[in-house]
Structure formats: C-alpha cells, structure tokens
Amino acid sequence: MMKRLVRAVFGVLMAVPLLGCPAAVVAVGAGAGFVWLNGQLEETIDRALPDVQQAAEGALADLDLVGIDTTADKLKAEVSGRMADGTKVTVWLKAEDFQSTKVTIRAGAMGDKSVSLQVLRHIKKRLGIE
C-alpha cells in the first residue's frame, strides 16, 4: 500500500514541470494507485508480466472487444483490440522486475478515462486483486 502511494506521489511530482503544457492532464486515483496522464492510465501491479498479459487479454475479451492482438517478449507486451464503435484500446505492459508489471492503458486517440478504468478493473479482477 505504501509502495503504491509513493509511486502515485512520485508520478504527480514528475508531472509538475508539465503544468504549463495544456496537453498534460494529471489525476491520481483516490486510494486506487493509478495515474491518469495525457490520456493514458498507468498503474504498477504486483504480478509477473506473463500473468498480467493473460489477464489483459482476458479483460479485453470480457469487454467484448474484437480483433484482440498480442505482441510480447519476456520484458514487454502490447495487447490491443477494438470496441464495437471501432475505438482502439491498447494495453502496454512492461516488467518492472520479476513480480511487478507497469500497466499503461489508452482507449481512443484522445484517451477515455472511464473505458481505461474498466479495462484496469477487469485486469485486476482476473488477477484476484479487488
């Protein structure tokens, strides 16, 4: 819990120089541990990359996205699909260490926070978190 709080605060502090930039919008989820920055939702999950990748693929399928495609190696993965209206949803995964994965989600060209949050919640649900 403390680790998540420190990461969230660090994310906000790193974004402070961007405050003069109108394209930069930062929001930290209250108690959730995620950061919303420039249309992308970011959170680090305490699970290994292969587990989070499988959960991300399942989450997009749970949400009835079509054309789900995955590109992965042992350090990074990208899982993407399209919503019924054609909006692209992409989940980028990066191994932080053996048991920690950074998750970045973007829905649409400008970023849709509510869709990104739904994807994150489904990923966590499949991992038994929340």
Share the mean pLDDT of the chain. 85
Residues near 16 by Cβ (< 8 Å), separated by ≥ 6? none
Strand ranges (DSSP E) for 1-130?
26-28, 35-37, 40-45, 66-72, 76-82, 88-97, 100-107
Q: Which domains does the chain have, with CATH numbers?
A: 39-127 (3.30.310.80)
pLDDT digits (tens, 9 = 90+) for 54-82: 999 999 999 999 999 999 999 999 999 99
pLDDT digits (tens, 9 = 90+) for 11-41: 555 554 544 443 444 444 444 589 999 999 9
pTM: 0.77
